[in-house]
A and B are shown apart, each in its own frame.
Chain A
Amino acid sequence: MTGEGSFKARATRRAAGGEPRIAALWLAALALAAVPGRPALAQETSDCLACHGQKDFTAERKGRTVSLYISEKAFAASVHGGLSCVHCHAELQGKELPHDAPLQKVDCGACHEAEAKQHAASLHGRALKRGDALAPTCSSCHGTHDIRKAKDPASPVSPLKVPFTCGKCHQEGTTVMRERTIHQDHILENYSESIHGEGLLKKGLVVAANCASCHTAHNILPHTDPASSIARGNIARTCTTCHARIEDVHRKIIKGELWEKEAHVLPACIDCHQPHKVRKVFYSQGMADADCLKCHGSGSLKAQDGRSMAVDARDLQHSRHAKVACSQCHSGVNVSHRRPCETIATKVDCGACHTEIAQQYARSQHGKLLLDGDPNAPSCKECHGTHGVEGRLQGSSPTFATNVPRLCARCHREGERAAVRYKGPEHGIIEAYTESIHGKGLLKSGLTVTATCTSCHTAHGVLPRTDPASSVNRANVPETCGRCHHGIQEEFETSVHHEMVGKTDKELPVCNDCHSAHTIRRADAEGFKLDIMQKCGRCHGEIAKTYFETYHGKVTQLGYTKTAKCYDCHGAHDIRKVTDPRSHLSRENVVATCQKCHPGATRRFAGYLSHATHHDPRKYPWLFWTFWGMTGLLVGTFVVGGAHTLLWLPRALQMRRELREAEEAEEREHAAGHTPEERG
């Protein structure tokens, strides 16, 4: 063992690697390996080609004449073109030429160690070891002297060629297919029609998956082997090497079930997408609408229970689904049946395409009721219609903004199906909404951006306000309103009424506590301005009461809006503690706040007590004592004056009697002096 070459070094490494089988092979090879310094030995490629370069160079093998010709050109162009023959045909190292004996098979693994190892463990390698004559060796796929890089289009293992290379054995009629157990049939044909095959072979898309993409090149294993790239447990990983973000885009609900049984655990792709027939769609295509309309286009078609089964093709033409085939929604048709639709077992599942929405709907009150089998529960078609379904931006759609109140009113108007089961405090919802600022904006001004039912309640996630997930739940109301009134929401979030600022165990108000829900008015409307004190007063009872003792409050109470209301001084959505410098009533701002109405107001003026009460002697002693002083004066005066008058009354009545008597006496005297005629 004198060899110093790289071969020896490799062999040593290999032996140390503990692979006895290959190591033994190599020891044999090394025995024949090059011994540097031996003279006159043919080692150059040209030496070999002296014989093998001749086209008629043949030999007898097992009674057959075989060509031993090697194309110099092809070899030079191959990846190994830079190597000499003995590099691979190592047994010739140092041997005299020409050699007699046929050479041993070249061991590619001498260099391509990882690939050789994989191959040896693979289905192909094991068959080879068994002595299976049909088992492919390296050269079966890669060739011999003309091996090219896989990227080279001329290579049999270049992407475009792989199906054909594999297909040499794995297509109908080959010995392998006939004599070996291969579980799939028509592999090559199916592949070429699959989306991968189509991409590769028809569109020339070299990144499209070929055989090796799924089966690997050298580590081909049966799908029953847990280590196989196509084992059930591994197939998702294999597919996601290309379909890396499939989770983001895959349809979430299939046939009414979540496609992932467990979050972020991909199911086995092949369950739906057959190997070698991989297609984007899982429903039957190939039914033309015209086929359906042959029967359903007739207006007289009736179901057994008498329902009309007629479909107006014009509805479809104008619908959002104009380009969707009947069978895409009415899934489950079987084209091989005379009536393809007789295999339809389920109702149309809109969620097959509108997955997110269907999920949301399933969680909504409407969806829950439907699940409970409530006959009044609205499904998709109750609002969207069926064949004529239109987008919500289409004016004629029932879900177009201005039509939404009417749509919801079908069940939610007083006395209708949904309204009768409602036990909450909101009544006359539709009428109230119509008169509200939103309703007027939408229905009278035709302002389609105005909030309609779905703007607050959502379209598909409608939930009662008691549900924490509801868009109209207390906790979510500011955000819901803020979707349009964003500036207000931002302001509100800095105010003392927002939970991030106001620290209290009492319930903090949200938008609808002051603005109401369905009867919402413009904030500059008379009614709203007069109501606001009651709204504030619901929590700030005492302070609201004292407000009504002042001029501002009294005028308000008379029904006028011109004097200061709560929000004129405190702000509306940006109410802050008066100790906060940003408050409208902070020391810095209070004079300016007064000046909004009283232009000449000074700091002293701002000392006016706008919530004064004369009932609190400790807080407002001046007012308290003034009030009681005045009350004392009043009571005193009235007691004295009243008593004086009452004491006088009997005497006054007495005087009146005496006067009357005197008068009557005078009259009688007068009358006595005249005749009755004169008195007339």
Chain B
Amino acid sequence: MEGGAQTKALQFQRFTRLNRTLHALMIVSFISLALTGMTLKFSYTGWAAFLSRRLGGFESAGFIHRAAATLMFSLFATHLWDVNRARKREYGGSFLRLILGPDSLLFARRDLLEFVASLQWFVGTGPRPRYGRWTYWEKFDYFAVFWGIFVIGSTGLMLWFPVFFTRLLPGWLINVATIIHSDEALLATGFIFTVHFFNTHLRPEKFPMDIVVFTGRMPVAELKRDKPAEYEALVAAGRLEENLVEPYQPVVVRTIRAFAWTALGIGTLMVLWIVYAMLFAYR
């Protein structure tokens, strides 16, 4: 699509620069957290010991883990600040309009309908639903991060500062926190590296990869096909034009792809490692 006359065609801007930056940093912090955390979780595998050595030992790995956690907390805070800013700018300061508006990420009745319609489409008893700006699985992914940050983050802080937390809480809660932190992390990692990867990046029709979250741009034709409801709403409101931008230079796209592929590769390897550790080396 980068070749020939298409290059000059304007593209639809789906994500702001800040969103894309946050997502990219999120990848860095998430993979760092996952890699360093998994060395402990699967410490009984040779891989873990090898990786731990590569990461400079358990203390260095621990440092990376905490640094990445701090980064993730900051990303989360930044995002909340961004959402709040959008509320003021675009929704007249109204929370209600923010969360009930058509572009809201909050689950709505429409998502339930689309979910049912999707299942019907999957089994061949209905047409492909006309998805809007955010599909239900995208919303699910989005709130999974909220949930994850809350659950993994809070238990992580307990493990980070056990002496402080046990001034108030009984010591065995640290054990409970360990289980929750570890299993929830496993869930997050497994989910992101399989379901999210598939749903969002590796879907056959987007194969080899959808990089919209990195470039922020998608061809208008794709928008029209993928999210017809949003496209039609934009056209109806006459706001499509204002969201069109020039595509990136091929070198930028190549760089982005390299980054994305690296992240995808590491994620896939980790899935394989998890499967190996859980099924073949578990004890």
Q: Using a CB–CB distance below 8 Å, which chain A residues touch chain B?
A: 548, 550-551, 553-555, 557-560, 562-563, 598-602, 604-609, 612, 614, 620, 622-623, 626-627, 630-631, 633-634, 637-638, 641-642, 644-645, 647-653, 655-656, 659
Contact = CB atoms under 8 A, between A and B. Distances in A.
Given A608-B172, A651-B121, A642 B194 contact: yes
Interface stretch (B27-35, B100-108, B178-186): B178-186
B171 A641 contact: no
A607 B176 CA distance: 12
B212 to A, nearest CB: 16
B223 interface: no
B204 A656 contact: yes
Instruction: Name the residue among A559, A606, A656 with the largest chain B CB count within 10 angstroms.
Output: A559
A605 B204 contact: no
A548 B198 CA distance: 35
Contacts of A649: 204
Contacts of A630: 179-180, 183-184, 187
Interface string B43-87: 110001100110001110000000000000000000000000000
A558 B52 contact: yes
Contacts of B176: 622-623, 626
Given A608-B162, A630-B183, A558 B39 contact: yes
B171 A604 contact: yes
B190 A638 contact: yes
A659 B171 CA distance: 58
Nearest to B207: A656
A554 B121 CA distance: 47
Contact of B48 (A558, A638, A642, A644): A558
B205 A652 contact: yes
Given A558-B43, A650-B122, A656-B207, 10 more contacts: A555-B58, A599-B163, A608-B172, A609-B172, A622-B175, A627-B183, A634-B186, A638-B195, A642-B194, A659-B205
B175 A609 contact: yes
B109 interface: no
A601 B175 CA distance: 16
B2 to A, nearest CB: 14
Nearest to B195: A641
A548 B44 contact: yes
5 interchain residue pairs of minimum CB distance: A607-B171, A630-B183, A608-B171, A647-B122, A605-B166
Contacts of A644: 137, 195
B171 to A, nearest CB: 3
Contacts of A605: 162-163, 166, 171
Instruction: Name the residue among A550, A633, A644, A655 with the largest chain B CB count within 10 angstroms.
Output: A644
Contacts of B183: 627, 630-631, 633-634
10 contacts: A554-B40, A558-B58, A602-B166, A604-B170, A605-B171, A607-B166, A614-B179, A642-B194, A649-B204, A655-B205
B123 interface: yes
Contacts of A633: 183-184, 187
Nearest to A631: B183
**B interface: dominant SS:** helix
Q: How large is the interface on B (under 10, 10 to 19, 20 to 34, 35 or more residues)?
A: 35 or more
Contact of A551 (B40, B57, B59): B40
Contacts of B58: 555, 558, 560, 562-563
Given A558-B52, A602-B163, A608-B172, A645 B199 contact: yes
Contacts of B174: 608
Nearest to A595: B163
B89 interface: no
Given A637-B191, A641-B191, A644-B137, A607 B170 contact: yes
A622 B172 CA distance: 9
A604 B166 contact: yes
A559 B49 contact: yes
B113 interface: no
A602 B174 CA distance: 14
A634 B171 contact: no
A559 B195 contact: no
Given A551-B40, A601-B163, A653 B187 contact: no
A555 B170 contact: no
B54 to A, nearest CB: 12
A33 to B, nearest CB: 112
A348 to B, nearest CB: 61
A609 B57 contact: no
A655 B204 contact: yes
A631 B191 CA distance: 14
A623 B179 contact: yes
Given A607-B171, A623-B175, A656 B166 contact: no
B119 interface: yes
A484 B1 CA distance: 81
A650 B40 CA distance: 38
Contact of A555 (B40, B128, B175): B40
